[in-house]
A = this chain, B = another copy of it.
Amino acid sequence: MLSLIKVGVIGIGNMGTSHAQKLYNGEVKGATLTAVCDINEERLNWAREHVPEGVAYFDNDTSFLNEADMDAVLIATPHYHHPDMAIRSFEKGLHVLVEKPAGVYTKDVRQMNVAAQKSGKVFSLMYNQRTNPLYQKLRELVQSGELGEIMRTNWIITDWFRSQSYYDSGGWRATWAGEGGGVLLNQSPHQLDLWQWTTDMMPTRVHGFCSFGKYHDIEVEDDVTAFVEYENGATGVFITTTGEAPGTNRFEVTGDKGKIVIENNQLTFHQLRTPVSEFNKTSTTGFGKPECWTIDIPVSGETTEHLGIMQNWIDAIVKGTPLLAPGEEGIRGLELSNAMYLSAWLDEPIDLPIDEDVFYEKLQEHIKQSTYVKDETKSGTTFDLDGTY
């Protein structure tokens, strides 16, 4: 019998608590929780009362990394700490699973990726929405050429409503110094990732229009529209906010051979019998359109969410299962949001890859003006997250 992979969880706020529970409840096959770490007194008290006997708890990351008995670490600290914690974990020879986003700026996420590479350890990212069969199917259809060359990618993802009480629940939330961003960094990283993952395309130019504290009393952005251009001439928009309800979650990808729309948990494929580029050249009818079939594509499987990503990570450690969300890919979605901020701050379009030093510098300016005074020992309210993310 194989021995269980010993996992430590650092950061037991909203997300880390949920992950730790899954681990100590034995929901992740092949893994066991051996340690938790948080600098927040209240969260440590929670741990003392709830985690099973034998699970060690630590109030600082240095002791955690030096003393905990573990093979692997799940990092669910505030975003800024992700890369540093991951790098130090890799240096200790640990496998790493990082909560999204990969970090706040690509400059240090790139260093995290280098450290991961060097360590040879299993590195995954909590892109739990990659477990959604709808997006897996879209990716498969794009990769197998069913859409032909992609011409447009429009994602309206405005159903991330958060009330002011959410932002008030922790002083670090939605501040430049404490969190490093708003809806682009906290809520939408999933869609930013799926946008590039399903299409396997990164834009070459990003026009970002961000509104900061538009609907909430916060420093960072809660409303964004971005227009992007791709190398092949395709374009796209990405529209997101935490200020609207009920909001929309509609992803439309148009290609030479048809269009796929994912909305209301359904994937619809509008397939052209003749590629539009060919019809365009050969049709003599002026107003005619290529014949289009609306096809009901079977999509099977469950959205396994966070548990699915954790299981996949453990399976990759134990038996070499390919990762659904390789950690190195976290930089892609992050670069998209970094570009959107930079575009808004500089009021100009941004070519990718972005100038990481310029972004870092502009971010520091915002941090300096941030109202947040660091005291992470007080993390604030923990909400019940069942079914909300």
Contacts and interface: CB of A to CB of B under 8 A. Distances in A.
Contact of A286 (B151, B156, B169, B270): B169
A19 interface: no
Contacts of A243: 151, 276, 280
Contacts of A254: 158, 244, 247
Interface in A285-307: 285-290, 292
A248 B244 contact: no
A224 to B, nearest CB: 9
A205 to B, nearest CB: 10
Contacts of A289: 161, 245-246
A372 interface: no
Interface residues of A, number: 60
Contacts of A225: 227, 235, 237
A159 to B, nearest CB: 8
A281 interface: yes
A165 B209 contact: no
A362 B216 CA distance: 41
A285 to B, nearest CB: 7
B286 A163 contact: yes
A245 B290 contact: yes
A252 B248 contact: yes
Nearest to A165: B284
Given A237-B237, A246-B259, A163 B280 contact: yes
Interface string A44-76: 000000000000000000000000000000000
Contacts of A209: 207, 227, 229, 235
A183 to B, nearest CB: 14
A207 B151 CA distance: 20
Contacts of A383: 285-287
A239 interface: yes
A99 B223 CA distance: 38
Contacts of A244: 151-152, 254, 259, 276
